[in-house]
A and B are shown apart, each in its own frame.
Chain A
Amino acid sequence: MEYKPIRKVVSGNYAAAYAVKDARVQVVAAYPITPQTSIIEKIAEFLANGEVENLQYVPVESEHSAMAATIGASATGARAFTATSAQGLALMHEMLHWAAGARLPIVMVDVNRAMAPPWSVWDDQTDSLAQRDTGWMQFYAENNQEVYDGVLMAFKIAETVNVPAMVVESAFILSHTYDVVEMIPQELVDEFLPPRKPLYTLTNFDNPISVGALATPADYYEFRYKLAKAHEKAKKVIKEVGKEFGEMFGRDYSQMIELYRTDDADFVFMGMGSLMGTVKQAVDILREEGYKVGAAKVRWFRPFPKEELYELAKNVQGIAVLDRNFSFGQEGILFTEAKGALYNTGAKPLMKNYIVGLGGRDFTVNDVRKIADNMKAVIEKGEIDVEVDWYHLKR
């Protein structure tokens, strides 16, 4: 069948909901939280209108239970989905470990929202990055198209390696902003993403299994090792699935770090999610103004694309890491990860951390220009002025 995209003008949240429908998800258990709500509302609407078949929608009483019910569904053998944001994700935290430890290929959309207090409903990546060590894969979407594509790919990757995956989009900047999204006809989605074939289910009554049983010190260690190896394997699977997606639908995701005009760049801006759209636009403008700059968008934060980072880092003089998040007592989280990944490689570009956009603070092309000027000066001088720059601070 020839691929003719179905173009729809949708919000990031609706893009997620359409992807859930097209992925033929069987169980959605969810709890409403701003700004995630329109995802689950749209799914409920599909159900009410008879646009989805064989979908069970479980309106649970908390996010903790949302993840628990999704886990129960996935262990039973169903393709299961949930969505959340910020405080809700934090409440789920315990169960995120459970999903990954039980090796269940759940996909969840997290709408990045800043953590309270003070209350904020706006964009910030600290909520999802705080889940770094739960064993989940994390994909950061730049735009609504990547939300849709990300959910479809996440199911395929998760079900191949038996590791859950989180697709992350920005609060309001994507979740509630409308854009053209190219959707894939159902027949082709089915071809790309066939029904789930679980290794184990709770429905084999001839050979019953125990999931999540006690493991003594004689065995627990090996369970962790196997999960670690699954993440290593996921890097390969992510690239293959990303390439296949590109061949089928014209949007290539074979790079875990998307490189934009980095070939001859003196320095690059590195970051994740929607802010990288702004950065790419700024790179075009700055290039015209004579700056030799590029952008490196980290699509997959877990597993972390160490090898791709090294390939980039050995060819540039500097990396400006833009973190829309912060780890208190240290620095931006991507900055720590990127520096750490390069330590033993021999690639030692100058690296500086810019904390940007926390709690929904605007981040514009002009901000990128100011950072470019600062970074240029740093490189010319050959030393970092201040390692962690709270760039927006009102002084």
Chain B
Amino acid sequence: MEIPETIKKKLTLPADEHFYAGHTACQGCGASLGLRYVLKAYGRKTIVTIPACCSTIIAGAWPYSTLDANLFHTAFETTGAVMGGIEAALKAMGYKVKGEDGIMVVGWAGDGGTADIGLQALSGFLERGHDAVYIMYDNEAYMNTGIQRSGSTPYGAWTTNTPGGKRHFLEKRHKKKVIDIVIAHEIPYAATASVAYPEDFIRKLKTAQKTPGPSFIQLFSPCPTGWRSPTDKSIEIARLAVQTAYFPLFEYKDGKYKINMPNPKKEPKPIEEFLKYQGRFKYMTKEDIEILQAWVNHEWEKLKKLAEVFG
């Protein structure tokens, strides 16, 4: 449907649509929404590298595709490397890459393909300085294989290989801070984003587009199937992740940190608010919640300090 110009001017997100109906994502899938925003921001002149993950399936089986962009599906651990090869080829062939009118080379990988098996290729991609954007859509477990823990799974979460019992759960480790590992590479631009704040996400995608060199965005993407949450609560959960400072929104640009919380003056809500709709946290005891809250507080204070010192 054609959107009238008068309405278009009022829209806070690009009207362009490159993610079509008929996709095979679950109801309430945060990742599919995220990918839709990516293509809204970058349009068709985009080459997306997708490793083994939910999005392999979401795009649909051959010969169909729900995504109106060039896609290269690749092996689990290779997103960073394949993007590097694509970018190098485009340059060798004389194309303009990145920038407002250049071809966008995008990596779209889940948390397992980024934090775990793909970490080496991500590191290589970052340190070599390719003009491309790597987006990690973080649903905090291996969802495509049936909800197993990844390095990005938080403390206290049930997964099928860290199951909960009456007395305890198995996931005793805190979420791996991939964004901190990325920033340690001192790339030009890195940011966190959330599907609950699409304007913020699209602004960050645009910043990544304009910034030469490698960019990285970690996108918080709820998974109702894996999180055992109601399918109509995904956005609310994603919003609470930000409001509780469990997943704060911030940017790292040219060595400077900038926190971009929706209500900067408000104190974060207690972590229980984030946990409440999610069945994956039901095995947590009061002590467990305190442990998670302490981690959130610690990381939040650290981030505020970084923004204060390197803001």
**Docked-complex contact A56 and B92, CB < 8 angstroms:** yes
- Of B65, B81, B95, the residue contacting A203 (CB under 8 A) is B95
For residue A218, which residue of chain B has the nearest CB?
B61
Complex: A371 Cα to B275 Cα, angstroms: 75
Complex: A74 Cα to B88 Cα, angstroms: 10
Residues of chain B in range 17-72 having any CB-CB distance to chain A below 8 Å: 44-45, 47, 49, 56-57, 59-63, 65, 67-72
Q: Across the interface, which residues of B come within 8 angstroms of A1, CB to CB?
A: none
**Docked-complex contact B74 and A203, CB < 8 angstroms:** no
Complex: A277 Cα to B37 Cα, angstroms: 61
Judge whether A208 is part of the interface by a CB distance below 8 angstroms: yes
**Chain A residue total in the interface (Cβ 8 A):** 43
Stretch from A35-43, A63-71, A254-262 at the B interface: A63-71
Bitwise, A259-280 to B at CB < 8 A (1) or not (0) is 0000000000000000000000
**Docked-complex contact B124 and A215, CB < 8 angstroms:** no
Bitwise, A225-266 to B at CB < 8 A (1) or not (0) is 000000000000000000000000000000000000000000
- Of B60, B69, B84, B95, the residue contacting A72 (CB under 8 A) is B84
Complex: A72 Cα to B91 Cα, angstroms: 13
Residues of chain A in range 194-237 having any CB-CB distance to chain B below 8 Å: 202-205, 208-216, 219
Bitwise, A74-97 to B at CB < 8 A (1) or not (0) is 111110100000000000001100
**Docked-complex contact A72 and B83, CB < 8 angstroms:** yes
Judge whether A98 is part of the interface by a CB distance below 8 angstroms: yes
Q: How far is the CB of B235 from chain A (nearest CB, A)?
A: 28
Complex: A71 Cα to B61 Cα, angstroms: 21
Q: Across the interface, which residues of A come within 8 angstroms of B63, CB to CB?
A: 219
Judge whether A27 is part of the interface by a CB distance below 8 angstroms: yes
Q: Across the interface, which residues of B come within 8 angstroms of A62, CB to CB?
A: 120-121, 124
Judge whether A388 is part of the interface by a CB distance below 8 angstroms: no
**Docked-complex contact B82 and A68, CB < 8 angstroms:** yes
**Docked-complex contact B86 and A202, CB < 8 angstroms:** yes
Q: Across the interface, which residues of A come within 8 angstroms of B182, CB to CB?
A: none
**Docked-complex contact A202 and B128, CB < 8 angstroms:** no
**Docked-complex contact A65 and B80, CB < 8 angstroms:** yes
Q: Across the interface, which residues of B come within 8 angstroms of A75, CB to CB?
A: 72, 86
**Docked-complex contact B81 and A65, CB < 8 angstroms:** yes
Q: Across the interface, which residues of B come within 8 angstroms of A68, CB to CB?
A: 74-75, 78, 81-82, 85, 121
Complex: A363 Cα to B229 Cα, angstroms: 68
Judge whether B181 is part of the interface by a CB distance below 8 angstroms: no
A80-B85, A214-B56 in contact; A65/B68 too (CB < 8 A)? no
Judge whether A29 is part of the interface by a CB distance below 8 angstroms: yes
**Docked-complex contact B73 and A212, CB < 8 angstroms:** yes
Judge whether B7 is part of the interface by a CB distance below 8 angstroms: no
A55-B92, A76-B93, A208-B70 in contact; A70/B85 too (CB < 8 A)? yes
Judge whether B103 is part of the interface by a CB distance below 8 angstroms: yes
Q: List 17 A-B contacts (CB under 8 A).
A: A27-B88, A56-B89, A58-B128, A68-B121, A72-B82, A72-B88, A76-B47, A76-B89, A78-B92, A80-B89, A98-B74, A202-B70, A203-B95, A213-B60, A214-B57, A214-B73, A215-B61
Question: CB within 8 Å of B: which residues of A?
Answer: 26-27, 29, 54-56, 58-62, 64-66, 68-78, 80, 94-95, 98, 202-205, 208-216, 219
Q: A203-B103, A214-B62, A216-B62 are in contact. List 9 more A-B contacts (CB 8 A).
A: A68-B74, A72-B85, A76-B89, A76-B93, A80-B89, A98-B74, A202-B70, A205-B103, A213-B65
